[in-house]
């Protein structure tokens, strides 16, 4: 089966990513999910709990901002599976597959669009954080490093979302499952509180959670603490998640399309 | 001899114990329209999906536009247009954006893509709704956009899976016209439908399938002759005229009509029967309250072809093992 050249495939990926971005115009709810929701979280946590948790809102903002970026990244990935499932259940996926389009382009398009959305919400959160008084201690390479690390992890974690999107019966189930699973995963971490403050029996889980590891790396990169170790572990996690979930997703997709 | 545009040999597709398609062979010459007729679960969609390279057959082979549907799927995709059973357009894009995206995916430059999209929207009477999200389209508009989307690449071969199901008669006719225009331009079409009338209006040849097997095929005329499709029904305004009407019908058609309630019906293969009957009734001063020439429903076709009502076909064929 003489397929499609890489250049053509990438161009098609670009067109399909454009589609996923344009869709946002007609679905303000999705945009709200990764615009207003994290903003609301940031404002509520900093101004309501900040004093109680960290002694002052400023100190808590410094502590929490890198974590909320990580947490929001996890939630944004749900829309990769959501969009994919919508296409599968509506038959739109068939329309794409009946065109002379690279087999990987529809998925690559979704994931590319996801990275754009990720970029948008990182900028939004850091911008708001800056307005609220957040200042980084490291030079700009720290910020760049953090963004790259978060995007790499997002790319890997998207495969989990793809699998859910392929297996789920309808888009609502993707969302339900995504959010139900992500709340414990992101809360049992050091995003909102320092690890020392949780019960000892839970500390092991919190520290092993890749969300905590990534958050540690982000804090180090922005605020000037140690980061290299946690960044490397994050990359290992990303590689492991991809190695497990990418083949699994492709297998499940082939099965569903039988 | 020119190779058939679509040629399938003994296609088989099983889903677990369900024999969705159980040895279907078909052939469509270039520029011809084949209507695939069958009840729910007959295997129409599965056949189309195999021919459109969406799913591989378990056994059997097929060539579309001269290319093998498995080994040369990519080339096949470059030739075909597919309108699936359920309108598959993106609800969150506008009509224009939907067509634009497909033109871009097919490798057209930006400006040309816009031109193609606008031209098609114009031709499908969607120009006014072009920049509205498809979410707000009516069923008929959505179907038209769906058909337009499958024409963006100007395909030589078109697969239409129940293109008018769920549409009102006006929208159905409008879609038929649009399909007819393509056929006039030389496009080969494989069309599935549950409506005999639709196959009759569009198809050069009809193939009836059930339980994944071909149970009849031929031109619409041949099938109709075989089945005796049309029925003449009449209800005299006054019940007293029933006997006289029945006598006239017997005399004209050569067989006695069936009576049900105040209604008389008779098979009407001969097109001259209706005007003759009207003339005779008029001579006798009998006024009909209702008079109609009715085409056979798919049910009746199935009754005639298989001796069983098509409603019994909903269950899947049980595996013999
Ligand atoms: N993906 C699938 N998995 C399992 N069974 C399937 C699948 N697709 C089709 N079938 C079964 O195969 C048979 C044929 O289905 P198909 O959709 O081809 O029929 P159809 O003629 O298009 O019917 P309809 O008029 O309802 O669209 C049915 O019994 C159906 O349940
Ligand atoms: Mg079908």
**The pairing of beta strand B67-68 with beta strand B59-64:** antiparallel
Q: Please tell me the number of Cα atoms within 13 Å of A131 on its side-chain side.
A: 8
pLDDT band at B106 (very low <50, low <70, confident <90, very high): very high
Select from B65, B185, B90, B149 the least CA-distant residue to A16. Answer: B90
Q: What does B130-183 look like in DSSP terms, one character per residue?
A: TTSBGGG--HHHHHHHHHHHHHTT--SEEEEESTTTT--HHHHHHHHHHHHHHH
The verdict on the CB of residue B95 being under 6 Å from ligand 1 is no
Q: And the tokens for B280?
A: 């005779």
Q: Is the pLDDT of residue B167 over 60?
A: yes
Phi, psi of B83 (to 5 degrees): -115, 110
Question: What SS3 class is residue A227?
Answer: coil
Q: And the tokens for A232?
A: 């490397």
CA A195, A198, A203, A205 torsion-angle sign: negative
Q: And the tokens for A20?
A: 């996923």
Q: Which atom of ligand 1 is nearest to the CA of B316?
A: 29
Interface confidence, given as ipTM, is 0.89
Ligand showing the shortest atom-to-Cα distance for residue B161: 2
Rounded to an integer, what distance in angstroms lies between the CA atom of residue A151 and that of residue B43? 45
Q: And the tokens for B166?
A: 């769920």
pLDDT of residue A1: 43
Q: Which residues of A touch B80 (CB under 8 A)?
A: 98
Q: Is the pLDDT of residue A23 over 70?
A: yes
Contact A3, A98 (CB under 8 A): no
Probe target for ligand 1 pocket from B21, B43, B85, with the most ligand atoms within 8 Å of CB: B43
Taking CB atoms and an 8 Å limit, are A91 and B52 in contact across chains?
Answer: no
Select from B33, B31, B62 the least CA-distant residue to B47. Answer: B62
pLDDT of residue A170: 94
**In terms of C-beta density within 10 A (0-12 exposed, 13-18 middle, 19 or more buried), how is residue A44 classed?**
exposed
Question: What SS3 class is residue A110?
Answer: helix
Q: Which atom of ligand 1 is nearest to the CA of B48?
A: 18
**In terms of C-beta density within 10 A (0-12 exposed, 13-18 middle, 19 or more buried), how is residue A12 classed?**
buried
- The position carrying tokens 């989307």 is B149
**Which residue CA neighbors atom 31 of ligand 1 most closely?**
B41
- The position carrying tokens 């084949």 is B34
pLDDT of residue B194: 83
CA–centroid distance, B9 to ligand 2, in Å, is 20
Taking CB atoms and an 8 Å limit, are B86 and A8 in contact across chains?
Answer: no
Q: Which residues of B touch A101 (CB under 8 A)?
A: 77, 105
pLDDT digits (tens, 9 = 90+) for A204-226: 999 999 999 999 999 999 999 89
CA–centroid distance, B41 to ligand 2, in Å, is 7
pLDDT of residue B318: 34
User: What are the CA-CA distances from residue A98 to residues A159, A162, B158, B159, B254 (Å)?
Assistant: 24, 21, 11, 11, 54
Fold of B6-219: Rossmann fold (3.40.50)
CA–centroid distance, B43 to ligand 1, in Å, is 6
pLDDT digits (tens, 9 = 90+) for B284-305: 998 889 888 876 655 566 667 7
Q: Which CATH number fits domain B230-295: 3.90.650.10, 3.40.50.2300, 2.30.140.10, 3.30.70.2030?
A: 3.30.70.2030
pLDDT band at B306 (very low <50, low <70, confident <90, very high): low
pLDDT digits (tens, 9 = 90+) for B119-153: 999 999 999 999 999 999 998 999 999 999 999 99
**Which residue CA neighbors atom 5 of ligand 1 most closely?**
B15
Q: Which residues of A touch B149 (CB under 8 A)?
A: 95
CB contacts < 8 Å between A and B, how many?
Answer: 79
Q: And the tokens for A138?
A: 């490291």
Q: And the tokens for A179?
A: 């959010």
Taking CB atoms and an 8 Å limit, are B74 and A95 in contact across chains?
Answer: no
Domain residue spans of chain B: 6-219, 230-295
Q: Which residues of A touch B107 (CB under 8 A)?
A: 8, 11
Closest chain B residue by Cα to residue A7: B107
Segment among A15-24, B117-126, B197-206 with least mean pLDDT: B197-206
**Which residue CA neighbors atom 17 of ligand 1 most closely?**
B45
Rounded to an integer, what distance in angstroms lies between the CA atom of residue B321 and that of residue B318? 9
């Amino acid at each position: 089966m003489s397929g499609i050249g890489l250049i053509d495939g990438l161009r098609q990926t670009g067109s399909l990513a454009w589609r996923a971005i344009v869709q946002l115009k007609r679905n303000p709810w999705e945009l709200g999910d990764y615009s207003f929701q994290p903003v609301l979280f940031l404002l509520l946590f900093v101004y309501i709990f900040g004093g109680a948790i960290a002694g002052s809102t400023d100190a808590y903002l410094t502590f929490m901002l890198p974590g909320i970026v990580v947490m929001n990244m996890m939630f944004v990935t749900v829309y990769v599976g959501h969009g994919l499932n919508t296409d599968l259940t509506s038959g739109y996926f068939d329309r794409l597959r009946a065109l002379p389009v690279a087999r990987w382009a529809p998925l690559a398009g979704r994931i590319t669009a996801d990275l754009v959305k990720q970029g948008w919400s990182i900028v939004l959160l850091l911008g708001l954080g800056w307005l609220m008084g957040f200042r980084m201690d490291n030079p700009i390479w720290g910020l760049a490093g953090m963004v790259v690390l978060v995007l790499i992890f997002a790319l890997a974690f998207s495969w989990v979302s793809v699998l859910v999107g392929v297996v789920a019966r309808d888009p609502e189930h993707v969302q339900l499952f995504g959010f139900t699973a992500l709340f414990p995963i992101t809360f049992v971490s050091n995003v909102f509180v320092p690890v020392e403050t949780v019960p000892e029996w839970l500390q092991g889980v919190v520290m092993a959670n890749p969300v905590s590891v990534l958050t540690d790396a982000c804090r180090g990169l922005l605020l000037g603490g140690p980061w290299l170790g946690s960044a490397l572990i994050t990359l290992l996690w990303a590689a492991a998640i991809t190695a497990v979930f990418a083949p699994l997703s492709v297998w499940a997709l082939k099965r569903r399309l039988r | 001899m020119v190779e058939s545009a679509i040629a399938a040999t003994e296609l088989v597709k099983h889903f677990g114990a369900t024999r969705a398609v159980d040895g279907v062979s078909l052939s469509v010459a270039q520029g011809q329209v084949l209507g695939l007729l069958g009840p729910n679960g007959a295997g129409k969609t599965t056949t189309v999906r195999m021919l459109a390279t969406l799913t591989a057959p378990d056994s059997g082979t097929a060539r579309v536009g001269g290319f093998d549907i498995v080994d040369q799927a990519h080339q096949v995709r470059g030739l075909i247009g597919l309108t699936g059973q359920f309108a598959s357009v993106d609800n969150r894009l506008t009509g224009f954006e939907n067509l634009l995206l497909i033109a871009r995916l097919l490798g057209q430059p930006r400006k040309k893509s816009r031109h193609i999209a606008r031209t098609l929207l114009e031709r499908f009477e969607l120009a006014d709704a072009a920049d509205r999200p498809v979410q707000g389209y009516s069923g008929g508009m959505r179907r038209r956009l769906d058909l337009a989307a499958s024409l963006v690449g100007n395909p030589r071969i078109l697969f239409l899976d129940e293109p008018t199901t769920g549409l009102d008669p006006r929208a159905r006719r409008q879609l038929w016209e649009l399909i007819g225009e393509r056929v006039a331009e030389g496009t080969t079409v494989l069309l599935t439908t549950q409506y005999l009338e639709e196959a009759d209006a569009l198809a050069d040849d009809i193939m009836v399938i059930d339980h994944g097997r071909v149970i009849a095929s031929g031109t619409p005329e041949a099938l109709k002759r075989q089945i005796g499709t049309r029925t003449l029904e009449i209800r005299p305004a006054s019940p007293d005229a029933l006997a006289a009407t029945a006598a006239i019908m017997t005399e004209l058609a050569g067989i006695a009509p069936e009576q049900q309630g105040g209604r008389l019906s008779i098979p009407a293969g001969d097109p001259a029967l209706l005007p003759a009957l009207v003339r005779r009734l008029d001579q006798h001063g009998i006024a009909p309250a209702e008079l109609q020439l009715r085409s056979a429903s798919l049910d009746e076709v199935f009754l005639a072809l298989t001796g069983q009502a098509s409603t019994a076909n909903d269950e899947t064929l049980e595996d013999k093992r």
